[in-house]
């Protein structure tokens, strides 16, 4: 995995050699059992039938932290067909919204079913490896696609690496991104907060490649496979940003950072950051990086 090496340090130093699963079902079963932890996706169904006419089975169906439908497809090794196969099932899913809604209602509840985010359905492909042609291909599709490489390390460890993550949307010019950062659900307040929201947007998008920005009514999420930051609409004097960084490992500053683990709020993340001006944003940069690394 990109030159990553794992060593066992008990009784000396021994390299744990990475390997592929014996069969595809081993990877599927492991990820389905821990999908929310590994992918940030709530598991809904396995080997979901698309009916006699369509004649297929979706490896895994789920719904992500922002309510977006997710198709997950697995391959033991490298398979040139995994992306097209996944897109085939994703198109079926978009055409069967009511059926997916019933599934969500039955497994999670009516509230979640009423809030499914159909503007951003996702495909996650988990495989032993991908070719440069795969990585190029996802750029050409108008869908949100994540390519995730796996490796097994012995009997007790699995490594997941996001190889590529694309939204399927063309990147807007910087000026247009700054204008969009305060609208539509982020209602315009005074000019200072609008500019601050634009600066936060630029800072979060600039943390790495393949970051997806997902707009919901109550918040805007930033994710690369999983959410790492959620920005709420401006309040009267501040912006609230929720991060995945662990509050227990941070020196909290009253009026700037707060541990909201277990406290209800819009978006995801246990660390609340309150931003009032550019100085606060500068102080928050390291927290943004920590959260991006933790997601």
pLDDT tens digit sequence for 110-151: 999 999 999 989 999 999 999 999 988 888 888 899 999 999
Query: Which of 166, 197, 217 corresponds to the end of one domain?
Result: 166
Collapse the DSSP code of 75 into the 3-class scheme (helix H, G, I; strand E, B; otherwise coil) and give the result: strand
Range of the domain at 42: 6-166
CA–CA dist 167, 158 (Å, integer): 26
The pLDDT, as a whole number, for residue 178 is 47
CA–CA dist 44, 63 (Å, integer): 7
The pLDDT, as a whole number, for residue 168 is 66
The whole model's pTM is what? 0.84
Task: Dump strand ranges (E) for 101-195.
Answer: 122-127, 144-153, 157-166
Residue for token digits 């807007």?
A: 172
CA–CA dist 120, 102 (Å, integer): 19
Neighbours of 222 (CB within 10 A): 26
Q: Of all helices (H) and strands (E), which one includes residue 242?
A: strand 239-243
Domain membership of residue 1 (yes or no) is no
Collapse the DSSP code of 266 into the 3-class scheme (helix H, G, I; strand E, B; otherwise coil) and give the result: coil
- How much is the mean pLDDT over the chain? 90
Query: Which of 134, 166, 198 corresponds to the end of one domain?
Result: 166
Same domain flag for 45 and 159 = yes
Domain membership of residue 45 (yes or no) is yes
Chain-centroid distance, C-alpha 140: 20
The pLDDT, as a whole number, for residue 220 is 96
Give the C-alpha distances (Å, rounded to integers) separating 60 from 74, 75, 203, 226: 9, 12, 34, 17
Residues 6+ apart with CB under 8 A from 228: 222, 243, 244, 269, 291, 292, 294, 295
The pLDDT, as a whole number, for residue 181 is 47
Residue 83: which CATH number?
Answer: 3.40.1350.10
Residue for token digits 């539509």?
A: 184
The pLDDT, as a whole number, for residue 174 is 47
Q: Which residues of the chain are modeled with pLDDT < 70?
A: 1-2, 168-190
The pLDDT, as a whole number, for residue 177 is 47
Domain membership of residue 53 (yes or no) is yes
DSSP 209: T
Render pLDDT for 65-103 as a digit per residue (tens, 0 to 9).
Answer: 999 999 999 999 998 889 999 999 999 999 999 999 999
């Amino acid at each position: 995995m990109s030159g990553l090496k794992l060593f066992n340090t008990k009784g000396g130093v021994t390299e744990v050699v990475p390997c592929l699963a014996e069969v595809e079902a081993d990877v599927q079963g492991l990820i389905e059992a821990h999908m929310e932890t590994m992918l940030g996706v709530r598991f809904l169904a396995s080997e979901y039938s698309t009916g006699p006419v369509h004649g297929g089975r979706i490896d895994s169906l789920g719904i992500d932290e922002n309510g977006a439908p997710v198709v997950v497809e697995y391959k033991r090794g490298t398979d040139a067909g995994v992306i097209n196969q996944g897109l085939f099932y994703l198109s079926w899913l978009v055409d069967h919204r009511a059926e997916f809604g019933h599934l969500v209602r039955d497994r999670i509840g009516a509230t979640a079913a009423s809030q499914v985010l159909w503007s951003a359905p996702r495909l996650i492909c988990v495989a032993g490896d991908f070719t440069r042609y795969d990585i190029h291909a996802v750029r050409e599709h108008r869908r949100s696609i994540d390519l995730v490489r796996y490796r097994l390390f012995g009997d007790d460890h699995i490594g997941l690496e996001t190889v590529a993550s694309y939204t399927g949307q063309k990147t807007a010019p910087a000026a247009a991104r700054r204008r969009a950062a305060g609208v539509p659900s982020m209602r315009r307040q005074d000019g200072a907060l609008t500019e601050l929201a634009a600066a936060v947007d630029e800072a979060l998008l600039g943390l790495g490649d393949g970051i997806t920005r997902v707009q919901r009514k109550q918040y805007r999420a930033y994710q690369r496979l999983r959410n790492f930051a959620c920005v709420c609409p401006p309040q009267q004097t501040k912006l609230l940003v929720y991060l995945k960084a662990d509050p227990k490992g941070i020196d909290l500053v009253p009026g700037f950072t707060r541990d909201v683990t277990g406290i209800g709020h819009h978006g995801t993340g246990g660390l609340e950051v309150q931003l009032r001006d550019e100085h606060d944003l500068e102080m928050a940069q390291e927290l943004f990086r920590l959260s991006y690394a933790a997601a």
